[in-house]
């Protein structure tokens, strides 16, 4: 492994090892793995994709005290990366988060790859598990039919408004397949998407006493 990548890997690993908000080190490892696969298929710059995947959650407001502080930390961490690549990586991590959905599409191929890699880890069996853990940590219910599904949320409403674990599938996760940027990302999302649909069908059948 390239020395810069190895230093950054160590830093991120020790920082996120015990993170409990669904952004733990294993999430990062999976996103790096997806990013490598997609970058290869799409002909993207793999160094940029791997490093951006490694640092993509460090500026998240659940991990850093503020997004600006988090971005400063990433800049320090990337001091040995050449300026052009560093600016590109910072640009990627500032632009890929979902935050309610009303965000402009990302522009560079590498940003598309990392966003797809992060989104893949939000769907499928892993996505279901992360959603349940996140909802539990936030104090949300598994499901409550009286709480309606929201659309077109502001970032604030997305973060702090009332929701349930099951509503999160309709508010975000079921949209991700269509939002994938790359052909490889779309291909990998398909089966994970179908698995979530099966889970929701079964959930509603059990809830209604049909199964
Ligand atoms: P993003 O910033 O891309 O929206 P998050 O950092 O908010 O993603 O999400 C971390 C994980 O928790 C993801 O798997 C996401 O789908 C899930 N998650 C986010 N918000 C909620 C929520 N309100 N209820 C349940 N799961 C959530
Ligand atoms: Ni992430």
CATH number of the domain that residue 58 is part of: 1.10.3210.50
pLDDT recorded at residue 136 = 93
pLDDT at 164: 97
Question: Ligand 1 within 6 A of 122 CB?
Answer: yes
Query: How many angstroms does the Cα of residue 130 sit away from the middle of ligand 1?
Result: 8
| Closest Cα to atom 17 of ligand 1 | 131
Q: Alpha-carbon dihedral of residues 8, 82, 112, 6, nearest 10 degrees?
A: -20
pLDDT of residue 101: 66
**pTM, whole model, 2 decimals?**
0.93
> Looking at the 3D structure of the chain, how many domains does it have?
1
Cα 151 to averaged position of ligand 1 atoms, centre (Å): 15
The residue segments making up the domain with residue 32 are 2-207
Whether 25 lines ligand 1, by a CB cut-off of 6 Å, is no
Task: Please give the distance, rounded to the nearest whole angstrom, from the Cα atom of residue 122 to the centre of ligand 1.
Answer: 8
The closest-lying atom of ligand 1 relative to the alpha carbon of residue 119 is: 3
pLDDT of residue 107: 87
pLDDT of res. 172: 95
- Of the candidates 63, 31, 64, the one whose C-alpha atom is nearest the C-alpha of residue 50 is 31
Quick check: CB of 124 below 6 Å from ligand 1?
Answer: no
What pLDDT is attached to residue 22? 67
CB 177 within 8 A of CB 106: no
Which parts of the chain register pLDDT below 70?
A: 21-22, 98-102
């Amino acid at each position: 492994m390239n020395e810069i990548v190895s230093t950054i890997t160590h830093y991120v690993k020790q920082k996120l090892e015990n993170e409990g908000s669904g952004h733990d080190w294993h999430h990062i490892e999976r996103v790096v793995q997806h990013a490598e696969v997609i970058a290869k298929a799409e002909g993207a710059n793999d160094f940029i994709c791997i490093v951006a995947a490694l640092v993509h959650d460090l500026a998240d407001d659940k991990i850093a005290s503020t997004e600006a502080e988090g971005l400063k930390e990433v800049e320090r961490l990337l001091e040995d990366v050449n300026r052009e690549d560093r600016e590109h990586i910072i640009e990627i991590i500032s632009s890929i988060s979902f935050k309610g959905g009303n965000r402009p599409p990302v522009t560079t191929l590498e940003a598309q790859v990392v966003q797809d890699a992060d989104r893949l880890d939000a769907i499928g069996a892993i996505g279901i598990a992360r959603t349940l853990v996140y909802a539990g940590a936030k104090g949300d219910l598994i499901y409550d039919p009286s709480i309606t599904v929201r659309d077109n949320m502001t970032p604030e409403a997305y973060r702090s408004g009332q929701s349930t674990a099951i509503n999160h599938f309709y508010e975000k996760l079921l949209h991700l397949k269509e939002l994938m940027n790359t052909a490889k990302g779309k291909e990998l999302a398909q089966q994970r998407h179908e698995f979530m649909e099966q889970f929701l069908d079964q959930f509603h059948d059990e809830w209604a006493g049909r199964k």
